[in-house]
Amino acid sequence: MITNRFVNQSIEYIMQHLDEEISVEDVANHCHFSKYHFSRIFKAETGESIYAFIKRLKMEQSAFRLKIEKNKSITEIGFNYRYSPSNYSSAFKKHYNISPAEFRKGMNTSFVNHPIFPDKLARFKSFAEYNQRITIQEINDLVVIYERHIGNYIELGKNWCDFTEKYKDYLQADTLLIERSYDDPSITSIEQCLYDVCMTVDENCSLDNVTTIPGGKYAVYQFEGRIPEIFAAFQGIFHIWLPGSGYEMDARYGFEIYRAVDNDNMCFVIDLYIPIR
């Protein structure tokens, strides 16, 4: 878990400015630290240098855009993350061992390998099947207590138990339990996925680890099933529903609201929120 609030602030800053030229010094200045001192703090918390973190996120977010924005050229997507065409291709190939064109061509429209449960395939449904379970909603900002993690989603259950026990005094009848995901585990190494476990709280909460999940327009998919099927649902939305929907995913990050949990059978009812425009 990332416990340093300045490191969490810096991560927020980086994710909000991935489409810009941001330097280590920019990040340190944002948190009011010297570049060298904050670089040590950041690496101690995340296991990566600030420079490596920025570089990796730019590459992985661009790969995600290659997957979901099929109408945009590779050059345009690379440029959106401040890469020239030649630099983008070489940097992408260095990171993924294939070119951006090969990566996009290899996007399968019927299934993907499951990164968390390697013995399973995440198979997709038809556009109509996804569409009948999706509603378009405008929501308000959500103020939440959060704890941020980098690592394998397989640890999520324990993280949730620890989190709800720690903040049990803040649980109310209308509290929402939310997981906020920043990475696609079919693109980002499963050991480097960034995610938050959250619960809604009154906007006047005085804890340091309070943030706001931005409201706006979301496509909301109602999921009912077991843990391995959640990844398949997300991937189906990205591969099948989104390209045919007429909507685009915007720069906000998606999240899930847990509506019902059956721990004995490991079954869940979850609303998956995809930010759109």
Question: How high is the pLDDT of residue 152?
Answer: 86
Q: Give yes or no: residues 254 and 138 share one domain.
A: yes
The last residue of a domain, from among 84, 105, 126: 105
The residue written with tokens 């590779």 in the block is: 74
124 is a domain residue: no
182 is a domain residue: yes
Q: Which residues touch 53 (CB under 8 Å, ≥6 apart)?
A: 11, 14, 42, 46
Question: How high is the pLDDT of residue 263?
Answer: 76
The last residue of a domain, from among 88, 105, 122: 105
209 is a domain residue: yes
270 is a domain residue: yes
* Stated pTM of the model: 0.93
Q: Give yes or no: residues 256 and 138 share one domain.
A: yes
Q: Give yes or no: residues 86 and 155 share one domain.
A: no
SS3 label, residue 40: helix
Question: How high is the pLDDT of residue 101?
Answer: 94
Q: Give yes or no: residues 158 and 222 share one domain.
A: yes
Q: Give yes or no: residues 149 and 94 share one domain.
A: no
118 is a domain residue: no
- The b-or-e profile of 117-156 (16+ CB within 10 A means b, else e) is eeeeebebbeeeebeebbeeeeeeebbbbbbbbbbebeeb
Rounded to 5°, the CA angle 217-134-255 comes to 55
110 is a domain residue: no
126 is a domain residue: no
Question: How high is the pLDDT of residue 141?
Answer: 97
Which residue type does 247 have?
A: Y
Question: How high is the pLDDT of residue 16?
Answer: 92
Q: Give yes or no: residues 49 and 146 share one domain.
A: no
SS3 label, residue 122: strand
Q: Give yes or no: residues 144 and 84 share one domain.
A: no
129 is a domain residue: no
Question: How high is the pLDDT of residue 197?
Answer: 97
The last residue of a domain, from among 105, 125, 157: 105
Extract the residue ranges of the chain whose pLDDT is less than 70. none
Q: Give yes or no: residues 258 and 171 share one domain.
A: yes
Question: What CATH code is carried by the domain that includes residue 269?
Answer: 3.20.80.10
What residue numbers bound the domain in which 57 lies? 5-105
Which residue type does 167 have?
A: Y
Task: Please give the span between the terminal C-alpha atoms of the chain, in angstroms, as a whole number.
Answer: 32
Question: What CATH code is carried by the domain that includes residue 51?
Answer: 1.10.10.60
Q: Give yes or no: residues 182 and 57 share one domain.
A: no
SS3 label, residue 116: coil
Tell me which residue of 192, 194, 198 sits closest to 211, measured CA to CA.
198
Which residues partner with 151 through β-bridges?
Answer: none
Q: Give yes or no: residues 195 and 76 share one domain.
A: no
Question: How high is the pLDDT of residue 85?
Answer: 87
Q: Give yes or no: residues 160 and 234 share one domain.
A: yes
pLDDT digits (tens, 9 = 90+) for 151-184: 988 888 899 999 999 999 999 999 999 999 999 9
Q: Give yes or no: residues 41 and 98 share one domain.
A: yes
Question: How high is the pLDDT of residue 99?
Answer: 95
Q: What's the structural domain count of the chain?
A: 2
